[in-house]
């Protein structure tokens, strides 16, 4: 009787039949290991049964889709590989804390001589998990409480609640997520939230209370998101010195919008990619589903990365967007585009490019921005293969422009407006990757194309960002 206990299949044997069973991470417990192994390796096998042990509230039909592939395996290596894939898929559902795979020969009356049983021993996540964080920002501290109920209905649904209590503002969000069984990438989520933001560059305070519904689905190599959002926005001035232009914008508004986003991402990493491209296209149509805000907003983002000599990477990116008001109401300050800052057009202060009134930046309705980077490892490569890989040097060249569309001229003059008075800057600095979600940059910037009214940051600029040009 032969038992192959595959506790952990990482890393997976790529090829070669003899590698598989003799690998360190596969334990062989057998009376006569040599002979049995030979038999199993060379023979075609049939997966007769797949068990899942340790299920509590999870419904089995959900898992059927994830493990179906295991039945198609024809030989032992294949069984192990497919089981490993199934294990990855199960973990990806986010409902199990631990998944172990046990492969055994079949037993019982109908057992075939070359029959195998695969057993997944799973440990479910607790019904309720909590987290507690404190955050300190500029002039503000906040406490974030999170509650998560994974797998609440037994089919990988997830309910999360986040509450942040700050010295100045409180925010909360409640979200329900449900994937389609068998297609985890196709999912629906519903969110309910209240968020408060302060935007000192515009002397603006914004409180959003909203509800949104989102469908995510992949088509070929692209990921799509369809979203409806209804949000009650309350704009106010941060200070008494706010300009009249910002005061005019304050008050309540209700936005109801449909939006679609498409993403193609072939990069190897989101923060410090070495190869691949990113294309994001976003469109938002507000007004036809209710509310008192109507506009059409289009924007895109392209990023190309190419590996060069000596581990250096050349990266180029381009952003652009346009906001068209529908009807006779002008666009709202909260919907417009902003440019400038340590992770967008460097060398300028945060969102401090373009139209302004008494030092409050009002944003633009059309913009473009581009960047070219040469990323290199740190000089002399300290901490190579470890800590040092989190850092990169970079040399950059940024350019961009932002303008209003309400000049009453045709599209040609708008294009001309975007082409003249271009803001640009260059410089060099160090980038630090923070996990795979954000990055910190410390740059020395030389702003060059500066227009009157822009707020520049000449010299050292420090910033963090999730999205970067």
Provide the binding-site residues for another protein, judged by CB under 8 A. 91, 94, 96-98, 125-126, 128-133, 150, 232, 236-237, 240, 242-244, 247-248, 250-254, 290-292, 358
Would you say 211 or 446 has its CB closer to another protein? 211
Would you say 291 or 321 has its CB closer to another protein? 291
Neighbours of 221 (CB within 10 A): 9
Would you say 88 or 117 has its CB closer to another protein? 88
Query: Whole-number minimum distance, CB 125 to another protein, in Å?
Result: 6
Query: Whole-number minimum distance, CB 375 to another protein, in Å?
Result: 30
At 382, list the tokens: 């300290």
Closest CA to 224 of 279, 188, 262, 185: 262
Would you say 225 or 253 has its CB closer to another protein? 253
Query: Whole-number minimum distance, CB 48 to another protein, in Å?
Result: 29
Query: Whole-number minimum distance, CB 294 to another protein, in Å?
Result: 11
The C-alpha atoms of residue 302 and residue 307 are separated, in whole angstroms, by 17
Looking at residue 38, what DSSP letter applies? H
Would you say 251 or 459 has its CB closer to another protein? 251
Query: Whole-number minimum distance, CB 382 to another protein, in Å?
Result: 30
Would you say 301 or 335 has its CB closer to another protein? 335
Closest CA to 7 of 118, 100, 121, 117: 100
Closest CA to 354 of 454, 458, 222, 204: 454
CA angle at 372 for the pair 366 and 373, rounded to the nearest 5°: 135
CA angle at 164 for the pair 160 and 168, rounded to the nearest 5°: 160
Helix and strand counts by DSSP (H, E) for the chain? 6, 23
Residues 6+ apart with CB under 8 A from 56: 124
Query: Whole-number minimum distance, CB 98 to another protein, in Å?
Result: 6
Residue-wise over 40-66: b if at least 16 C-beta within 10 A, else e? beeeebebbbbebebbeebeeebbeeb
Residue-wise over 295-314: b if at least 16 C-beta within 10 A, else e? bebebbbbbbbeeeeeebbe
The C-alpha atoms of residue 318 and residue 272 are separated, in whole angstroms, by 17
Query: Whole-number minimum distance, CB 208 to another protein, in Å?
Result: 13
Query: Whole-number minimum distance, CB 235 to another protein, in Å?
Result: 9
Would you say 33 or 130 has its CB closer to another protein? 130
Would you say 133 or 451 has its CB closer to another protein? 133
Q: Are strands 295-307 and 276-291 parallel, antiparallel or unpaired?
A: antiparallel
Would you say 215 or 232 has its CB closer to another protein? 232
Place of tokens 């985890």: 184
Query: Whole-number minimum distance, CB 302 to another protein, in Å?
Result: 33
Query: Whole-number minimum distance, CB 385 to another protein, in Å?
Result: 24
Would you say 236 or 449 has its CB closer to another protein? 236
What is the distance between the terminal CA atoms of the chain, rounded to a whole angstrom? 60
Sign of the C-alpha dihedral computed for residues 246, 249, 253 and 255 taken in this order: negative
């Amino acid at each position: 009787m032969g038992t192959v206990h595959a506790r952990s299949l990482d890393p997976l044997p790529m090829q070669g039949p003899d590698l598989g069973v003799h690998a360190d991470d596969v334990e062989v417990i057998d009376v006569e290991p040599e002979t049995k192994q030979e038999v199993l390796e060379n023979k075609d096998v049939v997966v007769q049964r797949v068990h899942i042990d340790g299920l509590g509230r999870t419904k089995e039909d959900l898992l059927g889709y994830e493990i179906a592939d295991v039945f198609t395996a024809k030989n032992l290596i294949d069984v192990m590989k497919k089981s490993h894939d199934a294990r990855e898929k199960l973990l990806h559902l986010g409902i199990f804390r631990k998944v172990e795979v046990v492969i055994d020969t079949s037993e019982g009356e109908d057992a075939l001589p070359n029959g195998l049983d695969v057993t997944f021993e799973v440990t479910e996540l607790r019904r309720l998990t909590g987290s507690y964080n404190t955050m300190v920002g500029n002039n503000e501290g906040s406490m974030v409480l999170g509650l998560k109920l994974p797998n609440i209905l037994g089919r990988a649904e997830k309910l999360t609640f986040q509450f942040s209590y700050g010295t100045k503002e409180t925010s909360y969000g409640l979200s329900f997520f449900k994937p389609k069984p068998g297609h985890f990438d196709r999912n629906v989520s519903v969110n309910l939230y209240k968020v408060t933001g302060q935007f000192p560059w515009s002397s603006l305070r914004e409180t959003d209370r909203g509800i949104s519904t989102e469908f995510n689905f992949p088509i070929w190599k692209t990921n799509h998101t369809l979203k409806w959002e209804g949000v009650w926005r309350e704009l106010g001035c941060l200070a008494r010195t706010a300009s009249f232009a910002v005061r005019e914008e304050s008050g309540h508004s209700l936005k109801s919008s449909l939006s679609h986003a498409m993403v193609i991402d072939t990069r190897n990493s989101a923060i410090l990619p070495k190869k691949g491209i990113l294309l994001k296209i976003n469109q938002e149509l507000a007004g036809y589903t209710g509310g008192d805000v109507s506009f059409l907003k289009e924007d895109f983002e392209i990023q190309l990365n190419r590996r060069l000599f000596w581990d250096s990477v050349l990266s180029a990116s381009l952003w652009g967007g346009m906001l068209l008001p529908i009807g006779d109401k002008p666009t709202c300050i909260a919907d417009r585009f902003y440019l400038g800052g340590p992770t967008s057009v460097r060398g300028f202060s945060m969102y401090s490019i373009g139209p302004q009134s008494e030092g409050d930046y009002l944003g633009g309705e059309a913009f473009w921005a581009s960047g070219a980077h040469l990323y290199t490892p740190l000089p002399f490569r300290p901490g190579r293969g470890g800590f040092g890989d989190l850092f990169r040097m970079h040399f950059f060249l940024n350019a961009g422009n932002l303008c209003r569309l309400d000049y009453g001229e045709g599209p040609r003059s708008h294009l001309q407006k975007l082409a003249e008075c271009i803001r640009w800057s260059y410089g060099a600095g160090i980038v630090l990757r923070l996990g795979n979600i954000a990055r910190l940059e410390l740059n020395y910037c030389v702003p060059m194309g500066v227009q009157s009214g822009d707020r520049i940051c000449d010299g050292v600029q420090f910033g963090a960002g999730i999205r970067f040009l």
